[in-house]
Every structure is written in C-alpha cells, then in structure tokens.
Amino acid sequence: MINSLDENKLKFLEEKANEIRRLIIETLVEAGSGHSAGPLGMADIFSALYFHILKFDPRNPFWDERDRLVLSNGHICPVQYVTMALAGYFSIEELKTLRKINTRLQGHPHRAVLPGIENTSGPLGEGISQAIGMAIAAKLDKKDYHIYCITSDGEHQEGNTWEAYMFLGKNQLDNLTIIIDRNYIQIDGITENVMPLEPLKQKLESFGLHVLEVDGHNIRAFIDAINEARSEWKRTSVIIAYTIPGKGVSFMEKKFEWHGKPPDKEEAKKALDELRTLGGKIESEHQ
C-alpha cells in the first residue's frame, strides 16, 4: 500500500506539480519544438508518481527491485524528463538539450540512452503490450515490483491496444496498473469527433478489468485510486484519469491546437506568469 497523505505532503506534491509545469514551459521554449498540452495536463500525476508512489533510486536506475513506469504516449515525454530531473536522475540544466542534436532527451524517449527510461516509445499503442511483458517477467522471476503504464486516450483508437486488453482479460496481471490520460484531445481534434471512445469505462470492464475513474488533478484522489488498484487481487486495474490538456495555462487549456506545438517566447512569458500566480494560490490554500 502507498502511504496516505498528510496536508504537508499534499502541499509539497501540488507545489512540485506547479514547478514541473514551469519547467515544461521553459524546456519547450528553449527547444523550439515539442508537445505542450499533454505534458502540462499530466504534471499532477507525475508529481504523485515520482515523489510519492514509485519505488526507485535515481543513483541506481537499474536497481532490480524498482517499480517500472512505461510511457506509451511518448510524445508527452517533456513531463517525464522534467520530473526525472527534479527527482535526481540528471541535472535540470540538461533539460535545455531537449530535441537537440546528440541529446539524451529525444522527442520520444529512447531507453538505451537515458537511464531511468524503461521503454522506447514513438508509435502509439505499444506501451500496454510492453508493460504486459514486464509484468509477466516479474511474475516469472517472483519479484514484487509493480509496473505502471501511462497511455493516452487517443491511442485507444489503435487496434493493438485492444489486443493487449484482450490478453489481459485472459491473463489477469495484478502487478500491472494502467493509467489512461483522458484529456479528450489528439492532434487532429477532439477524440469523440475523430473516433469516439465512449463508453470507455464499460468497454474496458467488458474485458474483466478493474476500472476506476478519477480527477487527474486531484492528487489525493489519484493516490487513493492507486491504493485501490494495488489492493485488487487477480485482476489488472485501469485508472481513467480525467485531465485538462494545457492545465495551468489559460490560453492552452482544452485546446487541441496545443497538442503538438511549443510556446514562443512571448507565450512562454505569459504562461510562466500564470503558473507563478497559481503557485501563490497553492501556498495560500494550505496555510
């Protein structure tokens, strides 16, 4: 079980999520390319994962007992890179190399070049199958580490995603938790206009999966959902986390146009001003 939160830890995680968002903006404007909406929307979840939930050691990234985090929707990697830097895997200064020649911080994560990255991702829809392989390996090796797989809602339009769920329906793996970023956008527009996914929860439940729904910006509720997932025996849990793409930056929120583009310098300044104001609100709410 994951430890419950007291007010001080909750404040820390919310402040860390805000710091993650600020660094995402600074990293993207430096790179001049990359995805904005998804990374900003997942900052709360990544804060909870790396600073409260995951078992890992940044000084020993290949520690055999570590939990595994599989990022299927690799295009949101700025949020993972930023969070890993804050967690001590590498220096914050290295974030300035995002998407540049010979960088370890490629536009989609590459496992072989950056310790702490568990899977290479790019083509969508592969992450759940990769995570299944890791979960089976853990069972065979009689290891008790847990595998978490983050996947987008848009890649649920991929056939191989549903093949993976079909496999899980037969071979329930209780050491695997899947987290769906349900932000309703993809590069071409709103998911329900491009290729409708609803009723998503019922579709997943039809495979025999244990499905939870949660506000992806409520850190306490997300951690409670993780605890419920971890307590489920003999079934794979799927958490549908409802997030706002571009969260924290008013002119990006809920706009699919920000799926795959970075802010320019003027937009970045405006975004950072908003996030600093948000940081002040977090401080006041916990006084």
Residue 21 in domain: yes
- Name residues whose C-beta falls within 8 Å of residue 210's C-beta, 6 or more positions apart in sequence: 229, 232, 235, 236, 237, 238
Residue 28: the pLDDT is 98
CA angle centred on 7, ends 6 and 13, rounded to 5°: 95
Helix or strand or coil: residue 212?
Answer: strand
Q: Which residue, chain included where needed, has tokens 């709410």?
A: 285
pLDDT for the residue numbered 17: 98
Crossing angle between the packed helical segments 7-31 and 219-230, to the nearest 10 degrees: 100
| pLDDT for position 4 | 80
185-186 and 189-190: which strand pairing? Answer: antiparallel
Query: What's the number of domains the chain is made of?
Result: 1
Residue 233 is encoded by which pair of tokens? 């025996």
Residues 6+ away with beta carbon under 8 Å from 141: none
Position 180 scores a pLDDT of 98
pLDDT at 2: 84
Is residue 2 in some structural domain? no
- For 45, the token pair is 């979840």
For residue 47, is it within any domain?
A: yes
Q: Is residue 229 part of a domain?
A: yes
pLDDT at residue 3, rounded to an integer = 81
Residue 168, SS3?
helix
Say what the pLDDT of residue 1 is: 74
Q: In this structure, what are the phi and psi dihedrals at residue 157, rounded to the nearest 5 degrees?
A: -90, 0
* pLDDT tens digits, one per residue of 167-204: 999 999 999 999 999 999 999 999 999 999 999 999 99
The CA distance from 97 to 87, in Å, is 18
As a whole number of angstroms, the distance between CA 103 and CA 205 comes to: 41
Output the CA–CA distances (angstroms, integers) from residue 51 to 76, 83, 111, 253, in the order listed.
19, 9, 21, 25
Residues of the chain below pLDDT 70: none
Instruction: Please give the residue range of the domain that contains residue 92.
Output: 7-285
CATH number of the domain within which 62 lies: 3.40.50.970
* Other beta carbons within 10 Å of 7: 9
Note whether 245 and 256 are within 8 A (CB): yes
Domain for residue 193, yes or no? Answer: yes
CA distances from 107 to 11, 100, 141, 179, 196 (A): 31, 9, 33, 21, 27
- The CA-to-CA distance between both ends of the chain, in Å, stands at 29
Ordered DSSP codes for 102-160 = T-SS-SS--TTTSTT------STT-HHHHHHHHHHHHHHTT----EEEEEESGGGGSHH
Residue 182's DSSP bridge partners are: 242
Query: Amino acid letter at 151?
Result: T
Structure tokens at 107: 């536009």
Specify the 3-state DSSP secondary structure of 256. helix
